Amino acid sequence: MPFNQLLLPLIGGFLLINFTHITSYWTSRQSKEQLILAAAFAGFLALIMARVLVVCVMQTPLGPHLYSALHSAAPYDGIGTSLLAVIICLVLRYWINAVWSKEDAALWLYGNGMYNTLERLFYYSFLRVEQVQTRPFVSELAYRMFRFPIRRFFARFLSTSDSDRSASSEAPVDDADLADNPDACDQELDEPISIMLSMKDRKVYVGWVQWVAPLRVDESPYIKIVPAWSGYRDPSTLRVEVTDRYDSRLFKDPVIPRGKVIAIGDIANASLYDRDAFELFSSSANPLDQSTPSNLAPTSLNPITRFLRTFFGSK
């Protein structure tokens, strides 16, 4: 049975670029041809590293024994280098995901302008910052893979002596603590960046994004929004009619789930919400007010209707 030495590195390269947090956004938006080329490039680099390691191992006394044991089980030329390339890809995937989480990857993509306009709007409401300073991809990857673990290790090693004191002073604030401290709740909910979401079923939500799922094409992305109020658009005038206003105390209770999960595919359009602009637009959206053009005004009344209104004093 013939064996292709490049097949296993190709599979390893695909696993590396498709299931790593920082690259999965890019790979999910590529065609099959581009994805194969990217996987082949990553697998080729892993194959070079694997070949160098195999040559180094063969110079040791243990090398010939490993060679004999492996080829007795799988008698194919180059099977050791191919398997080692896959192992390198899997180790790199685990290593990169450990030092570059989903949240950090989303923040880096946001700071480098990788998202489209709608996705940037969601992250703008979620992060509450418009610009994020980041490093280039290669330098950021090298920093996180090598320098970041060393700094974190020494930071943990130096903080073991006073961990008890620092735990009480630097512990993160969770929802239960916010519920016991109303001032902390007010500070957390102060000045949110609100957005208006118009759904495909004419439902309208106004609030701020609390969480954004990883945005991949092959998944069903969704967001979690804390609504301030909701309503619907009138089918004939498209004016927004407010139906429900949510009490902010509901979202301070840790027992009650905070926010509403909305699928991005159900959103027709989205924009930043400005209360003054919305109230101004709503007050001037009446098609029969004084600003209505003359060609859109009602037609002249017929003589009978004009006589009846004159006789009965109707205006």
pLDDT digits (tens, 9 = 90+) for 10-44: 999 999 999 999 998 889 888 889 999 999 999 99
The arithmetic mean of pLDDT across residues 253-260, rounded, is: 64
Burial per residue of 120-156, b for 16 or more beta-carbon CB atoms within 10 angstroms, e otherwise: ebbbbbbbeeeeeeeeeeeebbeebeeeeeeeeeeee
The span from the CA of 226 to the CA of 208, in Å, is: 5
- pLDDT band with cut points at 50, 70 and 90 for residue 146: confident
Q: Which residues contact 6 (CB under 8 A, 6 or more apart)?
A: 40, 43, 47, 82
Q: Does 172 map to a domain?
A: no
30 phi/psi in degrees, rounded to 5: -105, 155
Among 71, 99, 127, the domain-final residue is: 99
Residues 185-203 have pLDDT tens digits of 334 444 668 899 999 999 9
Tokens 């989480």, located at residue: 101
- pLDDT band with cut points at 50, 70 and 90 for residue 295: very low
The span from the CA of 26 to the CA of 207, in Å, is: 29
The number of angstroms, rounded, from the C-alpha of 159 to the middle of its chain's C-alpha atoms is: 33
151 in the Ramachandran plot: left (φ > 0), alpha (ψ -120 to 50) or beta? Answer: alpha
Q: Does 131 map to a domain?
A: no
The span from the CA of 14 to the CA of 20, in Å, is: 10
pLDDT at 258 over 90: no
The top-scoring range by mean pLDDT among 35-49, 98-112, 115-129 is 35-49
Q: Does 160 map to a domain?
A: no
Tokens 């390339």, located at residue: 85
pLDDT at 150 over 90: no
**Residues spanned by the domain of 204:** 195-283
Among 99, 123, 138, the domain-final residue is: 99
Q: Structural domain tally of the chain?
A: 2
- pLDDT band with cut points at 50, 70 and 90 for residue 182: very low
The top-scoring range by mean pLDDT among 150-164, 258-272, 278-292 is 258-272
The arithmetic mean of pLDDT across residues 101-107, rounded, is: 85
Q: Does 299 map to a domain?
A: no
Among 62, 78, 99, the domain-final residue is: 99
The top-scoring range by mean pLDDT among 59-73, 87-101, 258-272 is 87-101
Q: Are 184 and 178 in contact (CB under 8 A)?
A: yes
- pLDDT band with cut points at 50, 70 and 90 for residue 218: low
User: What is the structure's pLDDT at 240?
Assistant: 87
DSSP secondary structure letter of residue 297: S
pLDDT at 49 over 80: yes
Q: Does 217 map to a domain?
A: yes
The top-scoring range by mean pLDDT among 109-118, 273-282, 304-313 is 109-118
Taking each helix axis from N to C end, the angle separating 102-111 and 117-127, rounded to the nearest 10 degrees, works out to: 120
User: What is the structure's pLDDT at 39?
Assistant: 94
More confident residue, 71 or 39: 39
The arithmetic mean of pLDDT across residues 171-194, rounded, is: 45
The top-scoring range by mean pLDDT among 48-52, 218-222, 253-257 is 48-52
User: What is the structure's pLDDT at 56?
Assistant: 92
Both tokens of 57, joined, read 């191992």
CA-based angle 105:177:170, to the nearest 5? 60
User: What is the structure's pLDDT at 122?
Assistant: 85
User: What is the structure's pLDDT at 289?
Assistant: 42
195: β partners:
207, 272
Share of the chain above pLDDT 70, in %: 72
The arithmetic mean of pLDDT across residues 123-146, rounded, is: 83
Average pLDDT, the chain: 76
Q: Does 164 map to a domain?
A: no
Share of the chain above pLDDT 90, in %: 21
The span from the CA of 230 to the CA of 244, in Å, is: 5
The arithmetic mean of pLDDT across residues 96-114, rounded, is: 87
Q: Which residues contact 9 (CB under 8 A, 6 or more apart)?
A: 43, 44, 46, 47, 50, 82, 85, 86, 89
The span from the CA of 15 to the CA of 94, in Å, is: 11
Residues 296-314 have pLDDT tens digits of 334 444 454 554 455 445 4
